[in-house]
Structure 1
Amino acid sequence: MRTQQFSRTARSLVAAACALTCLAAEAAAIKIQSRDPAGFGFNDPTPAAPVGGNTGTTLGEQRMNVYRYVADIWEKNLDSDVEIVVSAGWEPLACTATSATLGSAAAWNVWRDFENGKPGTWYPQALANKLAGENLSNGQPDDGTGYGNVDIKTQFNINLGQPNCLAGSGFYLGLDGNAGDAVNFAATLLHELGHGLGFSVVSVQTSTGYRLNASATAYSPTGLPSIWEGFMYDNTARKSWLEMTATERRQSAINPLQLAWTGPNAVAGAAITLAPLPVVKATSPAGAVPTTPYTASSFGPAVPRSGKLGVLATITAQAGELGPGCSPFDAANAAAVRGKVPIINRGGCTFAEKVKNAQNAGAVGVVLANNVAGSFAPGGADPTVTIPSVGVLQEDGERLKAAVAAAKAYGSRTQPGAVTASFAIDPNRKAGADLAGRPLLYTPNPLIGGSSVSHWDVSAVPNLLMEPNISDDLTLSVSPPKDLTLPLLKDLGW
């Protein structure tokens, strides 16, 4: 991320609550500047058959068609008198046969102390230009790259889908969302441009809590805040990030399920977008068991909103396994889970492998417990998995296992007491929001650089565009009642 500064007479940005009906914007203009050389990326002449509404006849043309289509979505949702300039390119990004960096985007310049901005506060350039009513980088000398003055810089993985780069799962270039096992480029690009427009903490180093200093030369404990920070409220510390020390910000960035967004547009949007909180309810002869929020796995059958899950069970460690449930179950574990729902800790292998091993042993469902603090969405794919599975917090998994152990003493000699679990919803809570209904930001522990704080939490239902993972059920909407991206950007000043 490059930084620039521009000093003018400053006055505070006045933030006002806005009814959701005001989210419809007038218009903005987005200019796409390709930095790809001839024959590469957007200029790739490889013939391609039209797909999913994309009528391009070469690979490069189809890529640019998706880019233009997504840029048009943002144009219709934003209001700015200043053209938004995006530098776009395709590059060989980090990847292996089983994982890959799809792409990235960020504000390439950030500004402070400009007209109509909040004094002493960093803004991404596209938003700063909108508020100032002019292109703040106009007339600034380029840094030699050819894109030194752009608002947003993006790059996407040219090798995706090749044998050494998430083999077989390349970008889908259709516009209809029917990506199948491929990666939906339209949804990925919509997400990344959201970051470039301002869906990011921008000028805070989350690993230290330091901020970018006034001269834009380094991060320091006494640096200037970003416009993002005034809407971040930590329910544990009971402070916004504007009120915190660097140490407190660093701790808040790894405080799972406790960092909420307080902007009035996003809070209002959450009320009509987020679903009631799905929970596992457990009954035990040993006494009450707290309801347990969960996130459904991306594989296996759909989890019902209500109905019996089954009798909970635990498993024991097996010699030589990579992690709990990672090897075919031995006789003792198979007997323990047959017709039941084992609680299996995360780690050692994929979630789908754990669930498949439990299924092969006769389990009727699986509760996957995190092995670190924070929520998670059990991802993966295996079409042969036919039993439901859900992910729960580390502490909730431990509580459920303790309840199973405590219940055994309440049975008979031949039939130990058992904990029975069922699916339900908590009508008083929203999935992905705190107790006050404010949407939660992603704060896993340990920190995930580049993802922590600058995304919605993965506990949100439905899946949101600006979560850290691109889900296959996303639409290309950025507004309630389907999404919360635009309301957050409106909170920032868009």
Structure 2
Amino acid sequence: MSANKPALLRRAALLALACSVWAGAHGAAVVTIVNGNAPDEGFNDPTPVQPVGGNTGTTLGQQRLIAFQHAATIWGATLTSKVPVRVGASFVPLPCTADTAVLGSAGANDIFSDFPNAPLPNTWYPSALASKLAGDDQAPAGEPHIRARFNSRLGLFDDCMAGSGFYLGLDNKHGDKINLVTVLLHEMAHGLGFQGFTDEQTGEPYEKRPSVWDHHLIDNRTNKLWVNMSNEERRMSALSETGLSWNGRFVTGQVPTVLSPQSVMTVTGRRAGGAKGMYEVGDASFGPPLAAAGVKGDLMQVVDQENGTGLACAPLSKANAAGVKGKIALVDRGECSFVIKARHVQDAGARAMVVADNAPGPVTGLGGGDPAIAIPAVRVSQASGTALKAALKKRQRGKSAVVVNLTIDPERLAGTDSARRIRMFVPAEFDPGSSVSHFTTDAKSNQLMEPSINADLPHEVTAPKDLTQALLQDIGW
């Protein structure tokens, strides 16, 4: 798991640790935290701290452990297993700089096939799930089912994202800090089975056996399951941008209750020319969501760079402000955060913001958070931005006659394919640790198991807020 504001999550195989045990969660399953830290380190760090957000710990180590317990309680109340789930965890120094950091990582400690009561023969299952299905612990005595480690230096040192450390409160009021409970829920889900064991970069199954994950991945262009593909077909599917979906009855059954209609942009007007038509857009995690009523107005381009682009990373000039006032502002991605751009065009009087991407690729959302943003914002692809700019070349100072309507398509659900199955994250350039093992970033509302932590995530893993539990049900939980 890495971070560079916003945090990007990465799951991986993990660490070796010691074996003191701390009490786990109570519910339909028991989740036990195995403390892997030495005295005075990590969970045992004696640094005094003030209680925060319902976390009553008075030392840094206690608060870290209480946050873990809280996440374990949420998962324990969600799962069903008579075999306690052991999470081997520690806080240790991990690589970081002033602007970027490895937050941590988590995953299954071991995998098993052909165990008693295995639903699918010759198929890999993660340790915790194999034990649940067998009704008996499959892990070697004392071994954790899940391994996890997190950065003990984050936000505490000048060379490790100072000021942007973990928020240890339990109330989700994390502000501009990284919400540890949300990160823990995400990473525990990977360890519980939200991951495959086939090499996504080569398409080759581990020891030539598919995982239960492969039985639910489907190429939505061919309707062919991964388990029935060749290595090369799997490799190409993992680079298909929008071509890979999750095929499971629990997830697909919950999709209509969890996901919202797809946001779209319709372009009309007498000077729209070749830009006329309907465009898929990515939603912002800040500002008001789009609605059926739409936000309609002339599109006006911000130009504040010598090359003809508009970054809106500083307050708009008098001419740009006059151009976007009461209109919809078109700006370019780059140089500063999306919320800074939104704040500047909002201050200039714009009714909404459209961000044109600066590189080829599928449409994704706009990350960030700022409660002061009161206008909607969306993102369009680089190709769409180029078409819009071409139509705007003949604009007048106060109007463009290129009319944009930002609205929703009630027939389509954000982040799904034509069969209303949620898509998986498979960018055209393979992203180790993220590709295939996460939901698409196009989902709306934002989902816990996207490859990035969004600021608006609740501490929930079930419908109608989230699809993570439903996916774990699909694989056998």
**1:416/1:43 Cα in 2 relative to 1: closer, same or farther (>3 Å)?**
closer
Alignment CA distance shift 1:398-1:493 (3 Å)? farther
Return the letter of the residue paired with 2:135.
G
Tell me the equivalent position of 1:47. 48
Matching of residue 251 in structure 1 with residue 246 in structure 2: no
- Greater Cα shift, 415-424 or 271-280: 415-424
Residue matched to 2:193 = 198
Which of 310, 331, 337 lines up with 2:297 in the alignment?
A: 310
Match of 1:478 in 2: 461
Question: Is 2:113 the partner of 1:119?
Answer: no
The residue that corresponds to 2:280 in the other structure is 293
Q: 1:104 is matched with which residue?
A: 105
Alpha-carbon separation, structure 2, partners of 1:188 and 1:166: 17
Corresponding residue of 2:17: none
- Aligned CA distance change for structure 1 residues 198 and 395 (closer, same or farther; 3 Å): farther
CA offsets per residue over residues 206-226 of structure 1, 9 Å max, x none?
22222211xxxxxxxxx2211
Give the conservation status (yes or no) of the 8 Å contact 1:225–1:242.
Answer: yes
1:287 to 1:176, Cα distance in 2 relative to 1, 3 A: same
CA contact (8 A) 1:276 1:426 kept: yes
For the residue of structure 2 that corresponds to 1:205, the secondary structure is coil
1:38 equivalent in alignment to 2:23: no
What are the equivalent positions in structure 2 for 1:258-407 lying under 5 Å apart? 258-285=243-270, 286=273, 289-299=276-286, 301-305=287-291, 306-314=293-301, 318-319=305-306, 325=311, 334=320, 337-339=323-325, 340-355=327-342, 363-370=350-357, 371-380=359-368, 387-401=375-389, 404=392
Provide the residue aligned with 1:430 in structure 2: 413
Equivalent pair of 1:107/1:152 in contact (CA under 8 Å): yes
Residues 404, 435 of structure 1: CA spacing in aligned structure 2 closer, same or farther, 3 A cutoff?
Answer: farther
Structure 1, 329-338 or 246-255: larger mean CA deviation: 329-338
Preserved CA contact (<8 Å) 2:33 2:86: yes
* TM-score in terms of structure 1 length: 0.82
Shift of 1:42: 0.5
> Displacement of 1:90 after TM fit?
0.5
Q: Distance in 2 between matches of 1:457 and 1:90?
A: 29
Letter aligned with residue 42 of structure 1: F
- Alignment partner, residue 463 of structure 1: 446
1:378 is aligned with what amino acid? L
Report the alpha carbon displacement of residue 128 of structure 1 after superposing the two structures with TM.
1.1
> Structure 1: where are the runs of 5+ without partners?
4-24, 140-146, 214-222
The amino acid across from 1:311 in the alignment is D
Q: 1:269/1:477 Cα in 2 relative to 1: closer, same or farther (>3 Å)?
A: same
Residue matched to 1:240: 225
Q: Which runs of 5+ in 2 are unaligned?
A: 1-11, 15-25
Asked if structure 1 preserves the Cα contact closer than 8 Å seen for 2:246 and 2:422, the reply is yes
Whole-Å separation in 2 of the counterparts to 1:416 and 1:48? 56
Is the partner of 2:89 in helix, strand or coil?
A: strand
Given that residues 288 and 375 in structure 2 are in contact (C-alpha distance below 8 angstroms), is that contact kept between their aligned partners in structure 1? no
Separation in 1 of the partners of 2:13 and 2:96?
Answer: 25
Cα contact 2:96–2:160 (8 A) shared by 1: yes
Q: Does 2:125 match 1:131? A: no
TM superposition shift of 1:331: 7.7
CA distance in 1, matches of 2:87, 2:34: 6
Moved more, 307-316 or 54-63: 307-316
Do 1:345 and 1:368's aligned partners in 2 also have CA atoms closer than 8 Å? yes
- From 158, 161, 177, the equivalent of 1:182 is 177
Relative to structure 1, the CA distance from residue 57 to residue 333 in structure 2 (aligned partners, 3 Å threshold; closer, same or farther) is same
Match in the other structure for 1:160? 154
Find the counterpart in structure 2 of residue 78 from structure 1: 79
TM-score by length of 2: 0.84
- Structure 1 residues 447, 350: closer, same or farther in 2, change over 3 A? farther
1:227-252 Cα shifts (integer Å, max 9, x gaps):
11111112234322122222222222
Structure 1 residues 324 and 96: alpha-carbon distance in aligned structure 2, compared to 1, 3 A threshold:
farther
Distance 1:47 1:315, change over 3 A: closer
Q: Distance in 2 between matches of 1:385 and 1:73?
A: 32
